[in-house]
């Protein structure tokens, strides 16, 4: 039975990954979810699996050496799946320090604790793997149609967030090169799906359309992102753990590039189509909700992943096309209004008012 230590499992992708893994392997695996429960972490995301015998939760900060060492001491961990991070670009522009602490120092601490736990003579525990979950933003911004991010594309991060993720990727690579540490890296494009915190484009727009609030589009709305349904990312991570080569990095994306303004219009049209015709919200749902606001500082223009390596080496392909994925996502937010009400209460209002004033 494989034991996974998942960091950041109460966040968006981490909680979807845990659902994916129990859905696929059932009681044949154990998962220990280690999360500090920052504003972005929510145990409600795991309510339906919290009683599974293979699941346990430890509230801990990834920078806390004693707490993480204790998790390794108490459990025979085979695989670390490292999601925990500060993940929002806008927050990194306003408060970069916490990004360096969590994303760089936190990753270093996870590597050190795993290295101590897994060291066996000159090598490491048989089969042990450390999967570092990273982003396509480390490659910077693409110019020119038909250009893509490959694993060989030089790093050129622009935001404090992407710089902190790039730094953490380099530290992971250094542990592979220096100690032969059994790590791998995935660099994924923009995810969307259930449980995403409404500070990111898609859940903000869904929530605002449903509440009749304006839809804040940065700059000219023509920045391009490459969107992937979160369960396809979860599947990629599992496949890289199983079949990826130690020390390698794998880009993850599904060739689904769209301008932000296209995404916003698709969300408006799809919600209109999915709501019953006599729903009173129909009256206010139209493109007039779109409001162009001040651009993000240092705003990357275009991201686009070339997933050739993960496809040819590992056989991963995305399964959910955007038309289906966005409907599944909107349906989830329709059915979880109380989740949205809870996460948008308290500090969120302050964040929103300051961010979009
Ligand atoms: P998220 O912000 O939704 O979740 C982050 C989780 O990490 C939260 O549960 C939070 O409580 C936890 N966390 C934060 N600081 C911590 C600390 N010091 N100790 C322990 N736990 C801590 O993020 P997400 O969108 O799910 O992203 C997860 C990972 O995937 C990140 O590493 C991110 O860089 C990467 N990634 C995200 C995307 C995307 O589109 N969201 C795409 C590619 C890669
Ligand atoms: O590419 C992967 C990255 O995708 C991840 O590493 C990050 O963790 C994740 O947050 C995401 O970063 P982005 O900055 O691309 O995502 P975000 O949802 O914040 O913004 C997507 C685009 O939409 C971006 O061009 C900015 C724009 N935007 C965003 C918000 C929140 C708006 O126009 N209005 C908004 O209100």
**Is 23 among the domain residues?**
yes
- Compute the distance between CA of residue 333 and CA of residue 118 in angstroms, rounded to an integer: 41
Q: Which helix (H) or strand (E) holds 186?
A: strand 183-188
**Three-class secondary structure of residue 199 per DSSP:** coil
Percentage of the chain with pLDDT > 70?
100
Report the relative pairing of strands 119-120 and 79-82 from DSSP bridges: unpaired
Under the banding of pLDDT at 50, 70 and 90, the label for residue 322 is: very high
**Is 113 among the domain residues?**
yes
Residue numbers annotated as active site: 136-137, 161
**Is 84 among the domain residues?**
yes
User: pLDDT by residue (tens digit) across 51-108?
Assistant: 999 999 999 999 999 999 999 999 999 999 999 999 999 999 999 999 999 999 999 9
**Is 123 among the domain residues?**
yes
Going from the Cα of 146 to the center of ligand 2, the distance in angstroms, rounded, reads: 21
- In this prediction, residues 277-298 reach a mean pLDDT of 97
Query: Please, what's the largest Cα pairwise distance for the chain?
Result: 70
Q: What is the pLDDT of residue 172?
A: 98
Ligand that comes closest to the CA of residue 63:
1
Query: Using CA positions, which residue lies closest to atom 1 of ligand 1?
Result: 11
- In this prediction, residues 12-39 reach a mean pLDDT of 98
Helices (H), the chain: 12-25, 65-74, 89-94, 97-99, 106-118, 160-179, 201-211, 230-243, 260-274, 308-309, 322-335, 337-343, 347-355
**Is 284 among the domain residues?**
no
Q: Which residues contact 30 (CB under 8 A, 6 or more apart)?
A: 1, 2, 3, 4, 54, 55, 56, 75
- What single DSSP character describes residue 255? S
**Is 41 among the domain residues?**
yes
CATH number at residue 21: 3.40.50.720
Going from the Cα of 284 to the center of ligand 1, the distance in angstroms, rounded, reads: 34
According to DSSP, the residues that pair with 249 across neighbouring strands are 185
Residue 144 predicted with pLDDT over 90: no
DSSP string, 289-326: GEEEEPPPTT---B--B--HHIIIII-------HHHHH
Q: What is the pLDDT of residue 344?
A: 94
Q: What is the pLDDT of residue 346?
A: 85
**Which domain, by its residues, includes 49?**
2-193+227-253+298-320
**Is 114 among the domain residues?**
yes
Residue 208 predicted with pLDDT over 90: yes
Q: What is the pLDDT of residue 159?
A: 98
Going from the Cα of 44 to the center of ligand 2, the distance in angstroms, rounded, reads: 24
**Is 68 among the domain residues?**
yes
Query: Ligand 2 within 6 A of 137 CB?
Result: yes
End-to-end CA distance of the chain: 51
Q: What is the pLDDT of residue 225?
A: 98
For ligand 1, what atom is nearest to the CA of residue 165?
34
Percentage of the chain with pLDDT > 90?
98
What total number of domains does the chain contain?
Answer: 1
Return phi, psi of residue 258, to 5°: -145, 145
Residue 212 Cα distances to 96, 190, 297, angstroms: 32, 25, 27
Under the banding of pLDDT at 50, 70 and 90, the label for residue 357 is: confident
């Amino acid at each position: 039975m494989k034991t996974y230590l998942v960091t950041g499992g109460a966040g968006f992708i981490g909680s979807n990954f845990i659902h994916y893994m129990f859905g696929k392997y059932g009681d044949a695996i154990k998962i220990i979810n280690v999360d500090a429960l920052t504003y972005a972490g929510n145990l409600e995301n795991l309510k339906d699996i919290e009683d599974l015998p293979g699941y346990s939760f430890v509230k801990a900060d990834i920078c806390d050496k004693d707490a993480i060492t204790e998790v390794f001491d108490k459990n025979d961990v085979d695989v670390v799946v490292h999601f925990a991070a500060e993940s929002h670009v806008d927050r990194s522009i306003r408060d970069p320090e916490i990004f360096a602490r969590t994303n760089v120092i936190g990753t270093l601490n996870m590597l050190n604790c795993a290295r101590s736990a897994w060291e066996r003579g000159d090598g490491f525990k048989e089969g042990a793997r450390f999967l570092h979950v990273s982003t396509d933003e480390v490659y910077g911004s693409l110019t020119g149609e038909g250009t893509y991010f490959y694993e060989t594309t030089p790093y050129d991060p622009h935001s404090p967030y992407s710089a902190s993720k790039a730094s953490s990727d380099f530290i992971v690579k250094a542990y592979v090169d220096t100690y032969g540490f059994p790590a791998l890296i995935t660099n994924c494009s923009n995810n969307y799906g259930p449980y995403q915190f409404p500070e990111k484009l898609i859940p903000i727009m869904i929530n605002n359309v449903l509440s009749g609030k304006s839809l804040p589009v940065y700059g000219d709305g023509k920045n391009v992102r490459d969107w992937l349904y979160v369960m396809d990312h979860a599947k990629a991570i599992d496949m890289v753990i199983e079949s990826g080569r130690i020390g390698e990095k794998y880009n993850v994306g599904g060739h689904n590039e769209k301008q932000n303004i296209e995404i916003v219009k698709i969300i408006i049209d799809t919600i209109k189509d999915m709501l019953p015709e006599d729903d009173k919200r129909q009256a206010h749902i139209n493109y007039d909700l779109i409001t162009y606001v001040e651009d993000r500082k240092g705003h990357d223009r275009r991201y686009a992943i070339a997933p050739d390596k993960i496809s040819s080496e590992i056989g991963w392909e995305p399964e959910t096309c955007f038309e289906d994925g966005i409907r599944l996502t909107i349906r989830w937010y329709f059915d979880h209004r109380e989740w949205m009400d809870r996460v948008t209460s308290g500090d969120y209002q302050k964040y929103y008012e300051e961010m979009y004033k």
